[in-house]
């Protein structure tokens, strides 16, 4: 028969609820500071903007090829929106929301702008009925002191991103 010492029998093991609550409060406080600082970074915001633009271009290309109808992606300093040749808004395949972005309304991009759009006379990317970009061009996106030059290749519509010096 084994005897247990009194000190071992009454020892406590594990972590108290108070310790867990204090740890969670510290993690929450650090997150409150770190998350806004992360999303206010020009690199993070501009990279997200380029990723979203690429996704929207692909969605519009798929729609144009499937419907066998040309489409336009019109750009403003505050974002972009997809329309057909009659000016009616277009949605992505299987989606009910139009393909459109407004930096002033989309919280993550508030403060971002398209400084220059070099895509023909009407500042639009034309997607033909095969889903190909009819012509290429350049966009210059800015957020804070960060810049991205986005080149859209004619044909496939690939986006090539560079970071020019501020102008």
Residue 14 lies in a domain: no
Q: What is the DSSP letter of 51?
A: H
Q: How many domains does the chain have?
A: 1
94: left (phi over 0), alpha (psi -120 to 50) or beta: left
The CATH number of the domain holding residue 107 is 3.55.40.10
Match 């090539």 to its residue by tokens.
Answer: 160
In degrees, to the nearest 5, what angle opens at C-alpha 60 toward C-alphas 58 and 63?
110
Alpha helices (runs of H) in the chain, residue ranges in sequence order: 6-9, 17-39, 42-67
Residue 4 lies in a domain: no
Is the whole model's pTM more than 0.85, yes or no?
A: no
Q: Give the domain range for residue 70.
A: 42-162
Residue 9 lies in a domain: no
Residue 17 lies in a domain: no
Residue 58 lies in a domain: yes
Tens-level pLDDT at each residue, the chain (167 residues): 555 555 555 556 778 888 899 999 999 999 988 877 776 778 888 988 999 999 999 999 999 999 999 999 999 999 999 999 999 999 998 889 999 999 988 877 888 999 999 987 688 999 999 999 999 999 999 998 899 999 999 998 899 998 765 55
Residue 167 lies in a domain: no
Residue 26 lies in a domain: no
């Amino acid at each position: 028969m084994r005897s247990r010492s009194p000190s071992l029998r009454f020892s406590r093991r594990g972590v108290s609820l108070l310790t867990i609550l204090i740890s969670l409060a510290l993690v929450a406080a650090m997150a409150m500071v770190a998350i806004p600082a992360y999303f206010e970074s020009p690199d993070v915001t501009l990279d997200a903007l380029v990723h979203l633009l690429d996704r929207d271009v692909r969605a519009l290309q798929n729609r144009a090829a499937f419907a066998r109808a040309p489409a336009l992606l019109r750009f403003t300093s505050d974002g972009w929106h997809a329309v057909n040749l009659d000016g009616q808004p277009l949605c992505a395949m299987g989606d009910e929301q139009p393909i459109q972005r407004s930096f002033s309304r989309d919280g993550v991009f508030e403060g971002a702008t398209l400084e220059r759009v070099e895509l023909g006379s009407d500042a639009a990317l034309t997607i033909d009925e095969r889903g190909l970009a009819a012509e290429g061009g350049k966009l210059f996106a800015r957020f804070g002191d960060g810049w991205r030059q986005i080149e859209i290749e004619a044909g496939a519509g690939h986006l090539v991103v560079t970071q020019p010096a501020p102008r």
